[in-house]
Amino acid sequence: MTAFELAIRPLKKYFDFAGRASRSEFWFFFFFVLLMQAVARVVDAMFGSALFFAGPFSMLAAVLLFVPQLAVTVRRLHDVNRSGRDLVVPCLMLLVMPLFVMFRGVIAGIVALGYYGVVLLLFANLLLLLIKKGSKIPNRYGSSPSAFSFAG
C-alpha cells in the first residue's frame, strides 16, 4: 500500500471507530492533516485572512478532518490494546487549560504550571502509545492491520 493510500484511508473510514489502525496509517494521516492545514493557511493568507488566527479555509479543514483524526487515533489505540477512552482525560484537560490564564498571582501561576505539567505528561504518555508497535495477533478490537493475510 502506498503512502498516499495510507494517508487517505481514514477518510474512507470517516466515522469508523471500530477495529485497528497500523502505525503507518496513523502517522501518514497525521502528516496529511498537517499538510492540508498548511495549504488551508496559505489559501487563507492569499485571501487576506489573519495569519495569526485561523481563517475560514483552515477552520473548514479543521472541522472536516476532526472526526477522521479522532477515529484513526481511537483505532490506533485499539492496535496497542488500549481503549479510546484513554483520549478523554487528556482532551478534557486541554479544553480546561485556557481557564488558568484568567487567574493572576503567584499561587495561581504555580497551580497553572503544575496543571500544564500534568497535561504535558498525559500527552507524552499518549504519544508513547501512538508510537508503540501493535501486536501481530488479534486482540479484543479485531485482527492486526499489519499481519499477513490472503484476504484483500
pLDDT tens string 6-25: 778 888 888 889 989 989 99
Band (148; pLDDT cuts 50, 70, 90): low
Q: What is the CA 30 to chain-centroid distance, rounded?
A: 7
pTM for the structure as a whole? 0.83
Residue 78 neighbours by CB under 8 Å, 6+ apart? 18, 19, 20, 21, 84, 139, 141, 142
